[in-house]
């Protein structure tokens, strides 16, 4: 009986054509075609390995490589014709290869399956995306360091519960952002260790009977090693979930940055001026300057967290090995990578143009009795128990509230009314400058300490970037765009 579905490479088993709706419903080519270059890269390495092992002739290898190179050009130039009948990126490329070079194209699939092929493509794709994300992280962290250096001694209020707590410097606050992103960098770098393992050669689930050399393929593709178990290799998506988790934390951090920028740019705070190029106006209120980029980044954090949950739910009930469910891993993964790159780029472009309103920041710190803790510490150094000092300062703050004066504006006799331990040296500790300068330990907000932290951070960032470039030179992957 003639096969009614002969236009499909994997159709000989079936006597009936695929239902038209099912064909569309099960196809993935509309979204997985973005992995075309990774698919071609993996296939070229596979062909070289098959030839090395005597499974393909040199002529067949060369024909395959030339054909795949032509297909790559067709895709880049927008000339490639994608067909939903071929279901996915892998079958589309293989069908076109067979059209170009004949039977040698059909031999390419020897010793592999779409299961290990897609697992390899995803890892190659994600490795490249992590490189780009790390590049954008570097740009943003560098911009933060530059801005922090400009404002190492710019005093502002530090907050807890959104209430003025203690004076800090704007540079110190920015360095807190830097530290959050540094943890994000470390998580991505660590995630990449598990991404960079090669499943190709695991075939459908049990490996292959052909005498293949998986180590050779792994080396050609720049992986750290071949995977250890064929069942796990084709069904593992832990690395994708881990990437989504790291991405969710990055977006959570950007969302927190966004919330602060939105507050600080409001008339109520008026701490910063957002660059016009990253804001929009109102269609009805001509005075408005809306911080749209931070607001949109804050909103996009939810979609990345949603993708993490989606991937976890996708995998939670799957038996070994590969299941069609896993086709659903790509869209959340692709969107997570796109969202991270775009949001980090927006921030890296925006941060250098933030303008701090130093006077407003300073005056806000004065209004909140930010040096109250310094007065308590002063009394403790004079011999008073901290709990008693806490009560004394509370009484002084009450006087300040009633008279609408900061602690530094109270007179010496007024302060001595609360404790005889207070002498005229107290005013060295009640100024914002004195409070900030006193915190000169590691991690403190003293300007000198902040500048040292910036210097250390720059050196660490430069070392990380150099290591990343060396790694990509070894793997042949594209270096991050900086």
CA atoms of 416 and 144, how far apart (whole Å): 44
- DSSP letter at 280 equals B
Give the C-alpha distances (Å, rounded to integers) separating 177 from 94, 143, 163, 336. Answer: 47, 11, 20, 21
Burial of 81 (0-12, 13-18, 19+ CB in 10 A): exposed
Both structure tokens of 238: 């832990």
Interatomic CA distance for residues 372 and 430, integer angstroms: 8
Residue 288: partners with Cβ closer than 8 Å, 6 or more residues away: 281, 282
157 forms beta bridges with 167
Collapse the DSSP code of 156 into the 3-class scheme (helix H, G, I; strand E, B; otherwise coil) and give the result.
Answer: strand
**Distance from C-alpha of 363 to C-alpha of 299, rounded to nearest angstrom:** 32
- Check: CB of residue 128 under 8 Å from CB of residue 221: no
Q: Where in the sequence numbering do the catalytic residues fall?
A: 161, 282
Rounded distance, CA 130 to CA 190, Å?
11
């Amino acid at each position: 009986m003639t096969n009614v579905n002969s236009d499909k490479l994997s159709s000989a088993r079936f006597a009936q054509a695929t239902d038209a709706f099912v064909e569309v419903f099960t196809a993935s080519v509309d979204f997985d075609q973005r992995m075309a270059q990774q698919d071609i890269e993996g296939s070229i390495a596979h062909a070289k390995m098959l030839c090395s092992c005597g499974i393909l002739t040199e002529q067949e290898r060369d024909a395959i490589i030339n054909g795949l190179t032509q297909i790559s050009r067709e895709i880049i130039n927008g000339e490639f014709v994608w067909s939903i009948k071929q279901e996915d990126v892998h079958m589309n490329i293989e069908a076109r290869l067979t059209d170009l070079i004949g039977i040698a194209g059909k031999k390419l699939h020897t010793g592999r399956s779409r299961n290990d092929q897609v697992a390899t493509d995803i890892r190659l794709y994600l490795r490249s995306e992590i490189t780009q994300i790390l590049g954008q992280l570097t740009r943003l962290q560098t911009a933060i360091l530059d801005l922090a250096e400009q404002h190492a001694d710019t005093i502002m209020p530090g907050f807890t519960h959104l209430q003025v707590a203690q004076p800090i410097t704007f540079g110190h606050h920015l360095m807190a952002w830097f530290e959050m992103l540094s943890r994000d960098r470390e998580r991505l770098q660590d995630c990449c260790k598990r991404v960079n393992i090669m499943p190709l050669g695991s075939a459908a689930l049990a490996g292959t009977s052909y005498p293949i050399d998986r180590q050779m393929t792994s080396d050609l593709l720049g992986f750290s090693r071949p995977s250890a178990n064929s069942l796990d290799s084709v069904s593992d998506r832990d690395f994708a979930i881990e990437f989504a988790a790291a991405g969710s934390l990055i977006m959570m951090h950007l969302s927190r940055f966004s919330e602060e920028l939105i507050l600080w740019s409001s008339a109520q705070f008026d701490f910063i001026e957002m660059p016009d190029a990253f804001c929009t106006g109102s269609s009805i209120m001509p005075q408005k300057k809306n911080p749209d980029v931070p607001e949109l980044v804050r909103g996009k954090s939810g979609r990345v967290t949603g993708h993490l949950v989606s991937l976890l739910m996708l995998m939670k009930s799957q038996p070994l090995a590969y299941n069609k469910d896993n086709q659903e891993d790509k869209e959340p993964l692709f969107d997570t990578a796109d969202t991270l790159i775009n949001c980090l780029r927006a921030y890296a472009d925006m941060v250098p143009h933030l303008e701090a309103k130093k006077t407003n920041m300073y005056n806000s710190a004065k209004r909140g009795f930010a040096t109250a803790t310094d007065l308590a510490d002063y009394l403790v150094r004079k011999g008073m128990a901290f709990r008693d000092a806490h009560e004394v300062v509370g009484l002084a703050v009450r006087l300040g509230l009633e008279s609408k004066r900061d602690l530094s504006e109270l007179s010496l006799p007024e302060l001595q009314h609360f404790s005889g331990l207070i002498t005229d040296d107290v005013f060295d500790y009640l100024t914002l400058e004195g409070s900030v300068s006193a915190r000169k330990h590691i991690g403190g907000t003293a300007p000198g300490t902040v500048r040292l932290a910036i210097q250390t951070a720059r050196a660490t960032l430069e070392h990380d970037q150099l290591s990343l470039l060396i790694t990509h030179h070894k793997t042949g992957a594209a270096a991050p765009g900086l």
